[in-house]
Amino acid sequence: MAHGRFNKKKDEAQFNITSLLDVLTILLVFLLQNYSAEGGLVTNADNLVLPNSESKRRPEEVTLQLAVTNDMILLDNQSLVPTEDVREIPPDDHAPIIQELFDRLEVALAEEEDLVRRGALNQVLGQIVIQVDKNIEFDVLFKIMHTCGSAGYNRMNFAVMERES
């Protein structure tokens, strides 16, 4: 008969998950508070140099993106019209319209109105984010802004690069 330390039954270790759950809960709350759900992000078009700005305002949810490069005007990353064609549009009674852009914006606004009817949106936003190369002439920018406003997109935001302080 063996006596002493070899004959003792070993206690099985109990795994206490209460402290582990506390740590995971704190981690989850921390991650949820720091998670940024700002909607779609603005992606820069190729061959586009955005102007610098001191604005600290973050972009809102992006529904429609318009990019204006030296070569092409793109709506949601799809080529629309060469920028050179826009440069050649004569100012017509101070109301120059880029027809291809106007037509596509009307379709996009109709889709937005349809989403409101279905209940997916609360209201028609008429919001567009415009990315313009910093070397584009104001004449081209004016024609684009006038076309967007005429098609119902009156809430225009411009994408810029935040200037480092």
Instruction: Tell which residue, 83, 40, 36, 88, has the closest CA to residue 60.
Output: 40
In a domain, 130, yes or no: yes
Tell me how far apart the alpha carbons of residues 41 and 52 are, in angstroms, rounded to a whole number. Answer: 18
The pLDDT tens digits of the residues spanning 34-57 come to 765 544 455 565 666 666 666 666
Residue percentage of the chain with pLDDT more than 90 = 9
**Domain membership flag for residue 17:** no
User: Which structural domain, as residue segments, surrounds residue 150?
Assistant: 52-162
The C-alpha atoms of residue 14 and residue 17 are separated, in whole angstroms, by 9
- Indicate the pLDDT class of residue 107, thresholds 50, 70 and 90: very high
First to last CA, the chain: 82
Q: Look at residue 38 and tell me if it is in a domain.
A: no
Residue 21 resides in a domain: no
Given this model, what pLDDT does residue 106 score?
93
Q: What is the mean pLDDT of residues 104-109?
A: 92
* Residue 165 reports pLDDT greater than 90: no
Token pair of 24 as six digits: 């995971």
In a domain? residue 32: no
Q: Work out how many domains the chain is built from and give that number.
A: 1
Query: Is 60 exceeded by the pLDDT of residue 33?
Result: yes
Beta bridge partners of 66: 75, 130
In a domain, 56, yes or no: yes
122, part of any domain:
yes
- 3-class DSSP state for residue 154? coil
Q: What are the tens digits of pLDDT across the range 135-156?
A: 888 888 899 999 999 998 888 8
CA pair distance 123, 155, nearest whole angstrom: 13
Residue 14 covered by a domain: no
Residue 104 has pLDDT above 90, yes or no: yes
